[in-house]
Structure 1
């Protein structure tokens, strides 16, 4: 008769501990997963077990879908840090090399033995919880909680959330030092310096901007000298992690920056130094795409389209010149929308060195301490926002109303949009004061000063109108004698007579001397030249209004910008007629 212990149970749960089934299985023991082999001892009748390590601690805790693929959510403990994280793995990757690579890349050790891997794949699919999770490819606010780009969840989500995205800078989202250490060694040294404070508040504003429903924007700090711009970017980056790992440059492809933006959704993007060896066309395209918040539609090889990348970010950029000048100097005409999304603010020199002797010591101290104390204050800030999202949004709303009420009533809508960005920084300063140790009133003065400097450069009116008028005046002053064919009107039928026979290369139109009652000249622009070199993509109606308002456009026929018909050498042609000068 066989001993009782050797009776093999059949059916349900045959491979769970406590049963006497001899089939090998995966089991969690000693905080890890082991391949368990069971054999009956022929002498004693007992069940002997042997353990072979398979993986660090892993378990399936949920399932979900991103709208296309199904996922298993695997919870794991990272070696060394003992941090518990969750990873959403597409079901098609379970048991495949890319699936194991995904888990190993998160800091988990897994066996390389093929047979054991097959058993582990079955274990993950057949065991564990089947709770529904929200699956997302982007960081930021989801289900009421905030997901850091490294997958860390801050706050309590309404339902479980798993992040299956990533960023090339994921290694930079780490925590070093303490909150008090950052406040004393970094924030204290920045305090009192206008641009440094504004730069740091731009970083703090990123998660709050998305929480309050704001759109993408950036602050571009510019100055010819070094002045501390890069130090400011590094200090601002230390709010969320290691500065050298998180800081980007404009020397990147358009697609690369948009992918990075999507992976840092609802977060901060520090981008250092426009103009240092960058391709201006790439920078212009990247800036437009980056602050548009939506990626390009791209097709799959096997048909259909890939999911469109979407994001909301706040950026801090630096350079030696303002964004508009940088583009113009390199032959690119900036759009007004670009200039109110990436707001150029002169960098205010660092003057407050606190207990340090000079600017060099001050800069080196901030850089050094930003590496030692980083990541902690950003997580504390997001946790503060997550704890009372309604109050945070209410503060932003209050500041927006306060700022808009203080502005001139005739301020352009574009300038008001920028004022709302600075109102957000003002709200950020007040809400983050317990973490930074800064006086909210002093921060508000810094923010107002920066806005006023921007407004002085940008102007209070519609920027597109200003650009049209400026281009028209510059064009006439530069090309009056080399791109316009001089003409005088004849006595018959208003025909124009040629003044001289020389041929004008790259003809822009015709110059009529003394045509005006005041003796002034008329410049008859060929319509295509006017559209390409004066309007530069701006609508004809808006361009005409701009020039008419300053008295430069002659419009003989209502509602037509090309309203003047002139007979030249027997052929009737329409022209846009401008006069030099006009009202300032």
Structure 2
């Protein structure tokens, strides 16, 4: 059947024109006593046996409201609109390929699942294939920023000029995020309880900053809340997730493969990803995954025929929690972490406030009762703030971009002596949290300075937990030599027992001195710069170099560490 016989839904009124010759499809939007229910009808051509065939209803009413394609004029599709059997309007930007795979089974399955009734599948697919529309929309397959001031979600495009110019198009209908209550009740019942609680304010600010990373050119990162069980760290994540959705559905688990987490991260592009309980991820891969997620790029993978798949990419802010931090988890299987990983996963102590994770209980008698109050508030109020925030970001896009540099400079000057070093790079992440929290004050109801104060308190807690402002590499060098001596003391040979050579020997011990020849030194600092390690430890007066006579080696150059020099 030619497409000439497939009529655009808006081209005619409810009845086909008398001059229209079958076969053709027609959409009847109204009930007719003679014909029957509203729907898409197929008018068959007359035959000798049946000179006046009755039209056959093949489906409920469904309309093609536009055709879609990407910026390269590829990935064509059709924007479909219909109502389910409860009268709820539905939309789906359908890739055209869905009509051709397995006889259109994929498209039919998605539409039927969305409440559309279809009685003749083959005729229905022929009908959709032939439908066209003059309107053109741009389609994307990834949520987030499409261009400046245009932010795409699965169900809505945020753009102050034309909200319908871009649509999200994948082989599935994506449901909108669930919501409960109103923006006003979320502000009064949830955001208000955050005031005076630095960890809660920082967590909520992280939800608001998540779409600002790409916008402001800031790399992805993770705030990891570390604390004992029942410290309140999970409540902080729950409150943050309430900005976007129902936390019970939104929060994910670290318990996943790296491949699975790549897909999850890509679906949260330019948004917030919440991962619960870091101890559930494979400890041997924890460092690699913790680097990958904030870094925004997955692994190169191959298809079944050996060709390279497109690498998944994203930009997001993460909230994580656990009773242990990344380094401790990796250490459990003797895996090292590096500066790049620990600068991206920023540990926030979650159990050292007056009431574990909380500083202000808002009239409750104890932390447990306050946590219960938070749970009730979030259960009844969630999913309303983020859309309001995206409206604000897209409308005020340029002003927000222009204000960032000055705000960051002031914040860094207050908290970091070296704003370009490792400490400065982490301080920048707290700065953008403060900036987002201040800008969103009309949504949260927080007074000016609330978010900035919370960010500074949490930054100071991070510095204290870290052990100061020295570089990660310097701290790693000290920790590496300390752990080698404490944990691997059996690998040091007593110089007075030349015949008792330990397995995997790295050095010798004499009285209170550990004597490490150059080759053993290189083994200890594998993965780090061994020469730099010597310089750092000498500057800290932990080690000195000398030449010593050692059993089986003769007189060789060594590094000597006195036991007392490693005491904290």
CA RMSD, Structure 1 to Structure 2 (Å): 3.4
* Alignment check: 8 A CA contact 1:172 1:243 kept: no
1:173-184 alignment, distance < 5 Å: 173-184=177-188
What are the Cα deviations for residues 236-288 of structure 1, in whole angstroms up to 9, with x where unaligned? 1111111111011111111111110101100001112222x543224333222
Q: Secondary structure at the match of 1:26?
A: strand
Determine whether 1:87 maps to 2:93: yes
1:466 to 475, 498, 517: 475
**1:473 Cα deviation after fit:** 3.1
* Alignment check: 8 A CA contact 1:165 1:263 kept: no
**1:499 Cα deviation after fit:** 4.9
* Alignment check: 8 A CA contact 1:483 1:506 kept: yes
Q: Secondary structure at the match of 1:70?
A: coil
What are the Cα deviations for residues 208-243 of structure 1, in whole angstroms up to 9, with x where unaligned? 222112111111112214122222212211111111
Structure 1: give runs of 5+ residues left out of the alignment. Answer: 1-10, 488-497, 514-519, 557-563
- Partner in structure 2 of residue 5 of structure 1: none
- Partner in structure 2 of residue 111 of structure 1: 118
- Partner in structure 2 of residue 391 of structure 1: 399
2:232 to 228, 231, 242: 228
- Partner in structure 2 of residue 3 of structure 1: none
1:577 to 556, 559, 562: 559
**1:574 Cα deviation after fit:** 6.7
**1:67 Cα deviation after fit:** 6.1
CA distance in 2, matches of 1:229, 1:290: 21
- Partner in structure 2 of residue 505 of structure 1: 503
* Alignment check: 8 A CA contact 2:92 2:169 kept: no
**1:57 Cα deviation after fit:** 2.5
- Partner in structure 2 of residue 18 of structure 1: 17
What are the Cα deviations for residues 67-125 of structure 1, in whole angstroms up to 9, with x where unaligned? 696321323245357455341414364452123334445x251515233223223233x
**1:438 Cα deviation after fit:** 0.9
- Partner in structure 2 of residue 301 of structure 1: 304
**1:566 Cα deviation after fit:** 7.2
CA distance in 2, matches of 1:254, 1:167: 23
1:65-76 alignment, distance < 5 Å: 65=70, 70-76=75-81
Determine whether 1:381 maps to 2:384: no
Determine whether 1:286 maps to 2:286: no
Q: Secondary structure at the match of 1:74?
A: strand
1:485 to 481, 493, 513: 493
Q: Secondary structure at the match of 1:181?
A: helix
What are the Cα deviations for residues 117-153 of structure 1, in whole angstroms up to 9, with x where unaligned? 23223233xx2136262x32211111332122x3322
Aligned residues: 538
* Alignment check: 8 A CA contact 2:98 2:106 kept: no
CA distance in 1, matches of 2:3, 2:542: 89
CA distance in 2, matches of 1:88, 1:232: 38
2:370 to 341, 362, 386: 362
Report the structure number with the largest CA radius of gyration.
Answer: 1
Determine whether 1:350 maps to 2:353: no
- Partner in structure 2 of residue 457 of structure 1: 465
Q: Secondary structure at the match of 1:426?
A: helix
**1:14 Cα deviation after fit:** 5.3
- Partner in structure 2 of residue 145 of structure 1: 150
Q: TM-score, normalised by structure 2?
A: 0.84
- Partner in structure 1 of residue 342 of structure 2: 339
Q: Secondary structure at the match of 1:338?
A: helix
* Alignment check: 8 A CA contact 1:250 1:274 kept: yes
In 2 relative to 1, CA 13–499 (structure 1 residues): closer, same or farther, beyond 3 Å?
closer
Q: Secondary structure at the match of 2:55?
A: strand
**1:388 Cα deviation after fit:** 1.1
Q: Secondary structure at the match of 1:423?
A: helix
**1:576 Cα deviation after fit:** 5.2
Q: Secondary structure at the match of 2:295?
A: coil
* Alignment check: 8 A CA contact 1:15 1:21 kept: no
In 2 relative to 1, CA 554–425 (structure 1 residues): closer, same or farther, beyond 3 Å?
same
What are the Cα deviations for residues 353-373 of structure 1, in whole angstroms up to 9, with x where unaligned? 335554344323322332332
Structure 2: give runs of 5+ residues left out of the alignment. Answer: 8-15, 31-37
CA distance in 2, matches of 1:155, 1:272: 33
Q: Secondary structure at the match of 2:455?
A: helix
1:52 to 53, 57, 80: 57
CA distance in 1, matches of 2:72, 2:125: 27
CA distance in 2, matches of 1:81, 1:222: 47
CA distance in 1, matches of 2:172, 2:430: 28
